[in-house]
Amino acid sequence: ETGVTQTPRHLVMGMTNKKSLKCEQHLGHNAMYWYKQSAKKPLELMFVYSLEERVENNSVPSRFSPECPNSSHLFLHLHTLQPEDSALYLCASSQDLTLQYEQYFGPGTRLTVT
Amino acid sequence: LAKTTQPISMDSYEGQEVNITCSHNNIATNDYITWYQQFPSQGPRFIIQGYKTKVTNEVASLFIPADRKSSTLSLPRVSLSDTAVYYCLVGDRSYNKLIFGAGTRLAVHP
């Protein structure tokens, strides 16, 4: 238990569906992150938020839309995904951006796009 | 960011000490060395961080020689539950981007 929870843990969606991934951290951290981990590939940083403000967007397709309503919650809205978007999506948090070296990761959402 | 090189995989047996070495020839003065552990279908977990010499915590030890061009993560008396992927990362404390490489896949056998 890292203090970072993600729901759902598993998600199967069609290419025309709209779904959202939710992340919540109970650590009082100010920075939150979304990562994508595809099979046999390293983790890819997708988005970085600091105090609810997006500070990094790593050329992620617009079919992925993040939202950070407060410092404890982070969402990833998904629409018209492609089969190659199937992956493990991980949320993480850190005390703040100056301490990114120690991130606390959630268990991830295993996404399958059919 | 300094590039890191570590073995793709390692095998060990229960009760043995495991040492995983990471090379980072281009490490900068302000860079720290950080190791993460990832179990299958879980997020990575921070294990240890160091700058020079030796750091030890309840999980592992990190040995860093004087030239800091490499580092060794040492896991004492491994068990089956230590089977995981271990990542070596190098960057300043803000780690503008926490970049994970392929890591070292450690398999511990009975």
Tell me if B43 and A2 make a contact (CB, 8 A cut-off).
yes
Between B34, B43, B49, which is nearest A105 by CB?
A: B43
What's the length of chain A? Answer: 114
- pLDDT tens per residue, range B52-92: 999 999 999 999 999 999 999 999 999 999 999 999 998 87
Using a CB–CB cutoff of 8 Å, tell me whether B34 touches chain A.
yes
| Residue in the structure block whose two tokens are 């896949």 | B105
Give the pair of three-digit tokens for residue A25: 């951290």
Give CA separation, B99 vs A15, A57, A106, B78, in Å.
29, 14, 17, 26
Burial label, A20 (beta-carbon count in 10 A; 0-12, 13-18, 19+): middle
Tell me if A100 and B98 make a contact (CB, 8 A cut-off).
yes
- pLDDT tens per residue, range A53-101: 888 777 899 999 999 999 999 999 999 999 999 999 999 999 988 777 8
pLDDT given for residue A56 in this prediction: 77
Tell me if A102 and B49 make a contact (CB, 8 A cut-off).
yes
Residues 6+ apart with CB under 8 A from A90: A6, A34, A35, A36, A37, A43, A105, A106, A108, B43, B44
Q: Which residues pair with A78 in a beta bridge?
A: A19, A64
pLDDT given for residue B95 in this prediction: 59
What residues in chain A have their Cβ under 8 A from chain B's Cβ atoms? 2, 4, 33, 42-43, 45, 56, 88, 90-92, 97-108, 110
Tell me if A101 and B95 make a contact (CB, 8 A cut-off).
yes
- pLDDT tens per residue, range A18-27: 999 999 999 9
Chain A residues closer than 8 Å to B91 by CB: 101
